[in-house]
Structure 1
Amino acid sequence: MNPLTERDIRTSFVNCSKGEAKRLPLPKDLAEIDHWDDLDFLGWCDLSAPARSYLVAEREGVPVGVTLRSSATTRGFLRRSMCSLCLTTHPGSGVALMSARKAGPAGRDGNSVGLYLCTDLDCPLYVRGKKQPAPGGRMEETLTVEQQIDRTRANLDAFLDRLFV
């Protein structure tokens, strides 16, 4: 992923108004991010509203931002859930159903799409082994890391495609 500026991020959102995009909080460490090559998307949580998260991915070289809302359910620590993007499992509330309002008129009519995602939105780092989930969080796979990255990107593209349908 190419490095993003504040302006890149704020103008990338497809499922909220320009005013909402202007007011949303940016990642606190945006200026310090030095691992852009390891990111398939930039994801962060809204610290003032824990049920809100944001994701910006590149599609055909153009940043596409999405606002997300997570489910408010909490699960017991012994229960594990799997992220639909990176296929990492987490105990407790480490994975949540996140929904995104669709882009355009469908979104204004209240239509949305959802996906189970790592709540910390660090999927690219889990796939690359740069961040370790709880024990047992990454399954032993016969796919190479590059193939796992391709799968994660394909899963992300499929989710983003559903926003425009």
Structure 2
Amino acid sequence: MKVLTEKDIRGSFVNCSKGEAARLPLPRDLSERPWEELDLLGWRDLSAPDRSYLVAELDGRPTGIALRFPTARRGLLHRSMCSLCLTVHAGGGVSLMTARKRGKEGREGNSMGLYMCTDLACSLYVRGLKQPEGGGQRFEESLTLEEQIARLRDNLTRFVASL
């Protein structure tokens, strides 16, 4: 992923107003992110525990989406799989993230949802740079790392495009 500036990020959101995009909190560690290892930039809103944000490249441009998810935590024995990177997490490591659709459909309350890693660190899990907490795991696959990254990007592109 290309290095993104605050202006790039705020201007990328497709499912919220310009005013909402101008007010949303950005990660403070943008300069420290491992951009070359990222397929998406994702972060949680610490002031609103049910909100997260994701920016990915779509058609060569950064495309941002505002997400919501339930704040209820699942038990540690419950395991779920992320639909983007196929990492299995225990407890609340995977959440159903919903995003309001673009334009008229979104204003009418229509949304799409997908089960995703709650911390939105899918790129790092696929590359083995981060391990799931609480007994989660990545399955050993016959796909190469490049094929797994391509699958992650394809899953992400299809979700963002569906909005």
Distance in 1 separating the partners of 2:151 and 2:49: 28
User: What is the identity percentage for the equivalent residue pairs of Structure 1 and Structure 2?
Assistant: 65
Map of 1:71 onto structure 2? 70
Structure 1 segment 4-43 matched on structure 2, within 5 A: 4-33=4-33, 35-43=34-42
Distance in 2 separating the partners of 1:79 and 1:145: 27
Letter in 1 for 2:8: D
Letter in 1 for 2:51: R
Once the two structures are TM-superposed, the CA of residue 73 in structure 1 deviates from its matched residue by 3.0
Q: What is the total number of aligned residue pairs between the two structures?
A: 162
Unaligned runs of 5+ in 1: none
Are 1:98 and 2:118 matched, yes or no? no
Map of 2:149 onto structure 1? 149
Unaligned runs of 5+ in 2: none
Residue by residue over 1:33-87, the C-alpha shift from the partner in whole angstroms, topping out at 9 and shown as x without a partner, is 2x11111010000001111000000112211000000123321101100000000
What SS does the corresponding residue of 1:133 show, helix, strand or coil? coil
Map of 1:88 onto structure 2? 87
* Structure 1 segments (4+ residues) deviating >2 Å: none
Q: TM-score, normalised by structure 1?
A: 0.95
Once the two structures are TM-superposed, the CA of residue 136 in structure 1 deviates from its matched residue by 4.5
Residue by residue over 1:6-49, the C-alpha shift from the partner in whole angstroms, topping out at 9 and shown as x without a partner, is 0000000000000000000001211222x111110100000011
Distance in 2 separating the partners of 1:28 and 1:117: 22
Q: For the aligned residues, what is the CA RMSD?
A: 0.9
Letter in 2 for 1:91: A
| Contact 2:51-2:69 at 8 Å conserved across structures | yes
Residue by residue over 1:82-139, the C-alpha shift from the partner in whole angstroms, topping out at 9 and shown as x without a partner, is 0000000111000000000001111011100000000000000000011111344101
